[in-house]
Amino acid sequence: MGKDEFLALALQNPVNGAILDELPRLALPDAWLVAGCLAQTVWNVLTGRAIDHGISDYDAFYFDPDTSWEAEDTVIRTLHERLGHLGAKIEIRNQARVHLWYPAKHGLPYPPLTRATDGIDRFLTQNTQIGVRRLDNGHEVYAPHGFDDVERLIVRPNPALNFSAANYATKAARWKALWPELTVIAAE
């Protein structure tokens, strides 16, 4: 599967499209729709399920040097006001702030990032290391591992991370229950 086919499938989900339309209107720096909502939409198309089957939330990242909680909260509220009518859980986070709260919440270290795609690189699974953003002339797709795992319904741990195997196992088990066709590669 190439970028264009992946994008065509992911955009069959109208919530993905609405978020991608709205992010540029917010004028956020380095803003991307990311992760499971993209890969899971493709899984749903490939397996003939409802387009939003199993998608618990829609994640968006941006990178703003203003790391104040107030600035991020304003972005969160504005996006919810603009897209609340979709009835979807949308989570948007400033990747410049993650290192400030992640260790306390998850008990794991988290380095300061320099751009939104650094956050994508830190996902637990390779198949969700994908981001899409709208440009004037179309879309930009960030997918450091390509789309083969998404197309083949493979869940594989991100080897670049020193992460919680328990968190990976929990996520993979949840997905396997929703998409039994998945092949889950065990964390080592």
For the stretch 102-116, pLDDT in tens is 889 888 888 999 999
**113 is a domain residue:** yes
- The domain tally of the chain equals 1
Residue 98 lies in a domain: yes
Strands (E), the chain: 32-34, 58-62, 90-94, 131-135, 138-142, 154-155, 183-184
In a domain, 40, yes or no: yes
CA distances from 55 to 52, 63, 89, 140, 153 (A): 6, 24, 9, 22, 15
pLDDT tens track for 128-184 = 999 999 998 899 999 999 999 999 999 999 887 666 778 889 999 999 999 999 999
Q: 3-state class of 59 per DSSP? A: strand
**Distance in angstroms (rounded) separating the CA atoms of residues 42 and 152:** 11
Domain that residue 27 falls in: 3-152
Q: Is residue 126 part of a domain?
A: yes
Does the structure show a pLDDT above 70 at 29? yes
- Domain for residue 122, yes or no? yes
- The continuous run of DSSP H or E covering 21 comes out as helix 14-26
The answer to whether position 37 is within a domain reads yes
pLDDT digits (tens, 9 = 90+) for 81-97: 999 999 999 999 999 99
DSSP-assigned letter for residue 157: B
For residue 167, tell me if it sits in a domain. no
Question: Does a structural domain hold residue 184?
Answer: no
- Say if pTM beats, i.e. exceeds, 0.85: yes
Identify the residue whose tokens are 């002339």.
Answer: 137
Cα 132 from Cα 121, distance rounded (Å): 14
